[in-house]
Amino acid sequence: MSVWDWIYKYFEKPGKYVLRVYRNLPRDVRKSGIHLHPEVYASFIVFATILVTAVVIALGVFLFRAALYTVIPVITVIPFFTFLILVYLPAAIASNRAGGLEGELPYTASYLSMLVISGLSPYIAFERIVRASRIFVKSSELAQRFVLLVKIFGKDPLSAFATISERTPSVTARDLLMGFVTTVKAGGDVVDYLNKKARLLFSELLVSIKIIADRLGSLLEAYLALVLLTTIAFSTMYFVTVSLAAAVPFGISSETMALILYTLLPFVSGAVMLFADALQYKEPVRDNKPYIVFSGISLPVLLFLAIFGYMIPALLPPTHPFVANPMVQFTRALLVFPMSYVNVPDFLESYIAISMAIIYSLIPSVIYTEIRFRKYKIISGITRFMRDLVEIRKTGFSIEKGIIELSRRDYGLFTPYLEKLALYINLGLPLSRVLNWILNKIPVWRGKMLLYMLADAIEVGGGTIDVLETLAWFAESVEALEEEKRKNLRTLLIVPYMGSILTAISIIVLAIFLGTQVTVSGAYKLAALTTLPAIVLNSFIMGLVAGKVSAGTIAAGFKHSLALVVTNLLVALLGGYIASGFMSIVT
């Protein structure tokens, strides 16, 4: 007896009661892709809740004996939240699947349209998506279920399509499949239906990108207002309170200020990036290599510089032997050397040190990410190549001869791949095999997809003019989609930049002005040393927000974070002159 059998055997009755209360749970389980019967999953919810409750009771007894009474009310809600999380988990998984499928479906519909135009039946074309699982990741799951229903369970293809449409979490996929079933039953033109559906999906995607840009603009406006008002207002109150501590018996405490700057504002920025990710159109496959470089190089370098260059010299007494270590001294000198060229107050040391640490650590990630993202320009070359291939095919050239002829032209980053393709064709290698080998060398998902579709079109239908015309239109639609996305989101970059620069200027100038007053105590300088680094950290996070909203990836924000931190550093170094200029204007 397996674990699931045991759970279902002993918790079947309470599980059925859960299904009666939450009537949408069976539908959510089916659409989520969880390979469990709804009654088994409901039984598991009851079992997990009882298990967590037993653990909480045992922990509560221990806390009661340890006289930790304040923690007991907190842990009592854990079973309740466990139950709710498990109940709504299938719906969350289904929503995530639907989002991935929605982003992939226009490409899948175009692929099916191209295969059907090449001469394949719609059923065989849908089965071929399984072979393209490395390209169409989400759609291949539907194709695998189709093959299972038809080849294993013996269902007819139309019934299999109807079953899949009922279980898919994507409304668009459901409409596509049910529309196909209706077209076949009515004796309509399946090729025309798939072709028009693919064009309609791309048109809807272009419209949705414009709507998303408007929503992101509203979100960023609210984000800018919240960050500016919170940071400037609370920082002003805090610095004034600390500088006049002897005369002002009330104000913001250091703990409250640390909670706001080091916890609340990063949480708000993270929430904005999360909301932006939920709103934005995303490619089915993400490039994680920039994050690997950031986690493997930039983050360790940042921690090393912050600990050995700032924290150890700041926390240990100057006479401590570890502070006198040559490595610690050299690391600290790397972080604070700008202070030797510009006369700045001592309480800005932490601000400058953290800024320099972030700058040093971000440089490798920025360089790698820019090199990586530059390869995305290969899409433009592939699009122009496919359009030229259609035109040269119309003159009577074969596919192979057309590729050899086009290899003499310049297609940007795609040119080296095209030259290799022509070379292997001259050597007598099969074209589809060479295309499949080359697409493995291209790092961009859209480039892989276009070349895979070209290889499949040649393999299935010989690369007729109609098929190549459809493929060229599809490639041009993909490029137009990306251009529309860049055009609509590029203007949103200014919002995080404005927030970061205005915050830095306001806080730094205020801190320098108050720090030069004769009434300032040592507590003020200590407060500035511990508070001002948060301004740099939040500027770094604002750069990530800028990359997320403008390009759709956090990795694109590395260069914006670097630019904002450098700007913050310049504000700190020139803050004295800015403050003097303001004072001369006022007086």
Over the stretch 77-109, which tens digit does the pLDDT of each residue have?
888 888 988 998 888 887 777 777 877 888 888
pLDDT at 251 over 70: no
Asked if residue 193 and residue 161 are part of one domain, the reply reads: yes
pLDDT digits (tens, 9 = 90+) for 544-586: 998 888 878 899 899 999 999 999 998 888 876 666 666 666 5
Examine the domain organization and report whether 368 and 499 are in the same domain: yes
- Measure the CA–CA gap between 291 and 275, rounded to whole angstroms: 20
pLDDT value for 485: 73
404: domain CATH number is 1.20.81
Residue 4 is predicted with a pLDDT of 84
Contacts of 442 (CB under 8 A, 6+ apart): 375, 378, 417, 448, 451
Q: How many residues does the chain have?
A: 587
Q: What is the DSSP string of 13-74?
A: HHHHHHHHHSTTHHHHHHHHT--S-HHHHHHHHHHHHHHHHHHHHHHHHHHHHTT-TTTHHH
Q: How many Å apart are CA 476 and CA 323, to the nearest integer?
A: 61
Statement: residue 21 has pLDDT above 80: yes
Is 503 domain-assigned?
Answer: yes
Whether residue 540 is found in the same domain as residue 395: no
pLDDT tens digit sequence for 475-485: 888 777 777 77
Q: Helices 378-394 & 465-489, crossing angle to 10 degrees?
A: 150
- For residue 47, what pLDDT is reported? 92
Assign 520 a pLDDT band (cuts: 50, 70, 90). Answer: low
In the predicted structure, residue 161 carries a pLDDT above the cut 80: yes
Q: Are 386 and 468 in contact (CB under 8 A)?
A: yes
φ/ψ of residue 523, rounded to 5? -65, -35
The residue whose two tokens read 């990108």 is 209
Q: Is residue 217 part of a domain?
A: no
Q: What is the number of structural domains in the chain?
A: 4
294: confidence class by pLDDT, cuts 50, 70, 90: very high
Cα–chain-centroid distance for residue 45?
31
Q: Give me the pLDDT at residue 65, please.
A: 81
The Cα–Cα gap between 339 and 331 comes to 15
Residue 453's nearest CA partner among 53, 54, 118 is 118
User: Does the structure show a pLDDT above 70 at 270?
Assistant: yes
Show Cβ contacts of residue 205 under 8 Å, excluding neighbours closer than 6 positions.
Answer: 106, 281, 481
Q: Is 158 inside a domain boundary?
A: yes
Burial category of 213 from C-beta neighbours within 10 Å (exposed 0-12, middle 13-18, buried 19 and up): buried
In the structure, what pLDDT confidence band is assigned to residue 373 with cuts at 50, 70 and 90? confident
Reported as a single tens digit per residue, the pLDDT across 332-366 is: 888 988 888 888 877 788 888 999 999 999 999 99
DSSP class per residue in 114-155: HHHHTT--HHHHHHGGGGGTTTSHHHHHHHHHHHIIIIIS--
Residue range 393-442, pLDDT digits in tens: 888 888 888 888 888 899 988 898 888 888 888 887 777 777 777 777 78
The answer to whether residue 518 scores a pLDDT higher than 60 is no
Given a cut of 80, whether residue 189 has pLDDT beyond it is yes
In a domain, 163, yes or no: yes
Query: Poorest-confidence range of 12-26, 186-200, 247-261, 499-513?
Result: 247-261
Q: Are residues 124 and 188 in the same domain?
A: yes
Query: Is 221 part of a structural domain of the chain?
Result: no
Cα dist from 545 to 223, 226, 517, whole Å: 10, 14, 37
Q: What is the mean pLDDT of the chain?
A: 83
Residues 410 and 432 in one domain: yes
What is the predicted pLDDT for the residue at 301?
A: 94
Taking residues 206-225, report their average pLDDT: 81
381 and 371 share one domain: no
Which CA distances in Å does 249 have to 505, 513, 526?
A: 28, 22, 18
Residue 212 covered by a domain: no
The last residue of one of the domains, among 205, 222, 257, is 205
Cβ neighbours, 10 Å, residue 532: 26
**Domain end point (choices 71, 94, 117):** 94
CB contact set of 386 (below 8 Å; sequence gap of 6+) = 450, 454, 468, 471, 472, 475
The answer to whether residue 243 scores a pLDDT higher than 60 is yes
Tell me, yes or no, whether 7 and 82 share the same domain: yes
387 and 530 co-located in one domain: no
- One domain for residues 415 and 337: no
Per-residue 3-state assignment (H helix, E strand, C coil) for 64-86: HHCCCCCCHHHHCCHHHHHHHHH
Joined tokens for residue 109: 């519909």
Nearest to 494 by CA among 538, 549, 540: 549
The whole domain housing 131 covers 97-205
Residue 455's pLDDT is: 81
User: Among residues 94, 126, 154, which one ends one of the domains?
Assistant: 94
Judge if 256 and 304 occupy the same domain: yes
Look at residue 157 in the predicted model and tell me its pLDDT.
Answer: 87
Kindly state the percentage of the chain with pLDDT values over 70: 94
Residue 517 predicted with pLDDT over 70:
no
Q: Are 366 and 497 in the same domain? A: yes
Describe the crossing of helices 137-147 and 157-167 by its angle, rounded to 10 degrees. 130
Q: Is 367 found in the same domain as 245? A: yes
**Is 214 a member of any domain?**
no
**What is the pLDDT averaged over residues 128-157?**
86
State residue 26's pLDDT score: 87
> Within a domain: residue 72?
yes
